[in-house]
A and B are shown apart, each in its own frame.
Chain A
Amino acid sequence: MSDTAVKTKYALEIEDLQLAYLVRGIPREVLRGVNLHVRPGEAYGLVGESGCGKSTTAYAALRYLPSNGRITGGRILVGGDDVTKMSDKELRLFRAHQASMVYQDPGGALNPTVKIGRQVVEAFTVLGHDRRDSEQEALDALRRVRIADPTRVMQRFPHQLSGGMQQRVVIAMALACNPQLLVLDEPTTGLDATVEAEVLDLVRALRHETDAAILLIAHNLGVIRSMCDRVGVMYAGKLVEEGDAVEVFEQPKHPYTIGLLECLPRHGVRKTQRALYTIPGTLPQIGTPLPTCVFVDRCALADETCRTVVPPVVDVNENSPANRHISRCHHIDRLNQMPEPPEAEVEAVLEGKIVIQMNDLSKTFRQHGNDVPALVGIQLGLGDGETVGLVGESGSGKTTLAKAMLGIYEPDAGSEIKLDEHLLAGKAANRPPEDMRAMQMVFQNPDSALNRTWTVRRILKRTVKKLTGITGEAADTRLETLADALRLSPRHLDMRPRQLSGGLKQRVAIARAFAGDPRVVVCDEPTSALDVSVQAAILNLLSDLQSSESTSYLFISHDLGVVRYLADRIVVMYLGRLQEEGTTDQIFNGPHHPYTEALLSAVPSVDGEPSERIRLSGEIPSPANPPSGCVFHTRCHRFMEGLCDVEEPPVVEIEMGHRIRCHLATTGELAAEPVVAV
């Protein structure tokens, strides 16, 4: 193939890209020879754990490097022009005309002090268009990203728009120049699943209108699967596998890819069926010298060859060059020898005795002199050893419910929380030590949850002492048992949190929660800050602990796959109210509350798309000013005028233990078929 032919064929070509960060003057390798090619109109996804270099690759494509970043080798061609060789002016023109980017946090990506209109117009004036034309083009651009009222939005400041709207604006700016290359760096991370679905729908629709090559970075494999034609799997600055997205997800050919996919709870697998696969070890730090195969230290198939011979680039689809599927592995023929995750030792919990019962639990905050009801009349019980999953969008009151139960927020008068049939004081401080130790919490962000000036030993010992009253040598013994159960080695005990990885920190936090043999542990998104391989280990640990200690979990998560894996029952919340409650099967199999239906269909699944997609319109309303009648009616796709907006729906028990708050439940018109295969 001649050189010119290649030029016309690909919009983005990254060839043997090597990049290093200077850390205290020493270059540390981040990218160790990355090769990838994206055709015009093609969407290419990059996946891998945090720190593997995927974002660095994306930013390098527009030559946006941190001040200590250096491209040390290779080249990046966009439309045939070498980005690494451009002068500052050429680079500026290249960014204006040929390449664009959409960023992770749209709120931060927009200038808070400049009106939306001006920011969008700027994307056109930079192309040399005159001001009047640019304004018209900006309006069109906003319309193009499905913003219904662009004139009004132009007059707004970024903070006056929701996250989803902000991201639309960023996308509109990115498309202004009709770019050859569009890089999306975690465009939906941090957005609610419902908003994520909207944004992804938009990008999918726009793909047909542009000829741009899309490079998508996401840690969520479902997002990649649902968006991309081809996918590359990155590890320690190298692509270890690359190929057609469906093929890579269905028939992965590299041990790392297999590991990543197996870490996820997929195909509706439950904790009672099997444990999750985990990838032992962790990503090597940047700059550390690596053996011939970068993955060898964590690979279950590794042998001596892997350490001495550079693995070959094997094309699995050798016979069809149009559909390259490569893997850097010596042992493609032995992939079926990858160890299976162990069978589950977890028993399903049936009809456990009720540990915690909340009756009519409400919590009203005062804000600027207004009453803001954050929880309204919650009725919920947790059985012995049971896991109740709590789902709903941001702002639905999940964490407030947990904190009210724990007594961190004092519930309103008239609320009732019973532990083993006896009434609990509203405030944690007023509860006797016995009640206090019965309920503990694992927080979302372990950095915030652990005192950074304390050693792990001190954190755990103090908790043991306060919760159990055990002191002295007995406390040390207890501490060791605890550390052992959480697989914390003695050397970890003398470290401070900042010396531990995220997964280890979270294990310390879990150890702390279990220090006093709790009856109930609230897990508030305990794995959402972690990589999938670490998440799997934590989930396994939680479910092991549960079965040995017979603890109940109130498990809050936005990840429905995780909830499905772990929860025995699921509760769906919206605007501080329970909307649906049932066993995990009931919730996933239907009939569904319309809100649940929308939540389920919003999930981008690693295993393909759901058959039917329901999109929620609008934002979650302010709890200070909830809609009349059914609080969900403003966004409901099954809204019935004159009923839903007037009358509050009753809670109907449509089958044993499956309760739904919807007018449709009384008439039996709820959607019945399962929506998604998480």
Chain B
Amino acid sequence: MARYILRRLAFSIITLFLLVTVVFLITNVFPSDPGRQIAGPFASQEQVDVLNEQLGTNDPLLNQYGRLLRSSVTFDYGDSFQVGQPVSELLWPALGRSAKLVLYGLVLTVPAAIAAGMFAARRRNTFIDRGIVTLGVASSSIPEFVSGVALQYFIGVKLGWFEVLALAPRGSNLITELKHLTLPALSLLVVYFGYIARMTRAGTIQALDADYTRTATMKGLSTRHVMRRHVARNALQPTVSVVGTQIGYLFSGLIGLELIFNYPGVGRLIYNASTSKDFPLLSAGVILVGIIYMICTLAADLIIAWMNPRARLQVTS
């Protein structure tokens, strides 16, 4: 197991290095003039040059690349173009708030989706199974901002059950905070419920059809025991994997949701950075999400390796 973790970590580090390189290439390979973009079309060329000098965008590309690599280790990305504050001081609190939302969304989604998936698998090809599958397909294909506005109107405005805006007043207790976060969290549920439920269903069906489940049944074990001891552990491996990858992807959905529900998280920060061409903040945000993705997939892989000893044999799928 230790060897597996080490190899898997090494793999993550290489991926991270490549990620930084890709981000650097995108922001530098195309001819761009950040000074001009920030200063606007009416600024004088001198102002733009001074700005570019300050930003370090005139340095040789290799130096800039080195700087970005170093930043990714120390997580010191310098100052934001726009706000002038260090990027990390902006990112960390926002990340904390987003994490709260994501966690809440996952708590709502994952158990429900797993239950629905297993339920559907055990009633394969019945009406209710087809219903769950079709609902899953439909709901998981709706963009977050679409379900966001719909929930905001129907549940927030029309029914008035939950707060319409996500940020609770300063000093609120947890319950109030959650009440505020419920609508965006439900929007996450709409998208991710379908994914996870379908994955669980597929995994469960595979496990139910497996020879070892037949062995367990033929031993005379009760259905409950068979499901818990023999089916679940194998059936949920794809689910763990998909939850791991989806947490990273959740952050793209957060952008829309944090705008609609006016929540100052990472998503809104990245959005603002992109509209104001704040490249240090934008690059840092993208790399941060990449790192979160890597941590989550790493965690998922480790959990799977713990669940299934055979998975430890290979590093990459």
Contact = CB atoms under 8 A, between A and B. Distances in A.
Say if A and B assemble together.
yes
B230 interface: yes
Nearest to A64: B218
A126 B212 CA distance: 16
A126 B220 contact: yes
A252 to B, nearest CB: 33
B230 A92 contact: no
A465 interface: no
Interface in B185-233: 210-212, 214-222, 229-230, 233
Interface in A393-429: none
A93 B220 contact: yes
B309 A64 contact: no
A522 interface: no
Given A103-B211, A159-B310, A111 B216 contact: yes
Contact of B219 (A96, A113, A157, A160): A96
B50 interface: no
A105 interface: yes
A101 B218 contact: yes
Interface of A: 62, 64, 92-97, 100-101, 103, 105, 108-114, 122-123, 126, 157, 159-160, 170, 173
A110 B217 contact: no
B1 to A, nearest CB: 12
Interface size, B (range): 20 to 34
A105 B211 contact: yes
9 contacts: A64-B218, A92-B221, A109-B214, A110-B215, A112-B212, A112-B234, A114-B230, A126-B220, A157-B310
A110 B211 CA distance: 8
Contacts of B309: 112-113, 157, 159-160
A383 B221 CA distance: 60
Given A157-B309, A157-B310, A159-B310, A110 B219 contact: no
A594 B79 CA distance: 78
Contacts of B216: 111, 122
A64 B217 contact: yes
A111 B215 CA distance: 9
Contacts of A170: 215
Given A64-B218, A109-B214, A111-B233, 12 more contacts: A92-B220, A94-B220, A95-B218, A95-B220, A108-B212, A111-B234, A112-B212, A113-B307, A114-B230, A157-B309, A159-B310, A160-B309
B308 interface: yes
Query: In this complex, which of A62, A100, A109, A157 has the most chain B Cβ atoms within 10 angstroms of its Cβ?
Result: A109
A173 B219 CA distance: 8
Contacts of A92: 220-222
A95 B212 contact: no
B220 A113 contact: no
Contacts of B214: 64, 103, 109
A114 B214 CA distance: 15
A103 B230 CA distance: 17
Contacts of A112: 212, 234, 308-310
Nearest to A170: B215
Query: In this complex, which of B214, B218, B310 has the most chain A Cβ atoms within 10 angstroms of its Cβ?
Result: B218
B216 to A, nearest CB: 7
B234 A126 contact: no
Query: In this complex, which of A97, A111, A122, A126 has the most chain B Cβ atoms within 10 angstroms of its Cβ?
Result: A111
A126 B214 CA distance: 15
A173 B216 CA distance: 10
B233 A123 contact: no
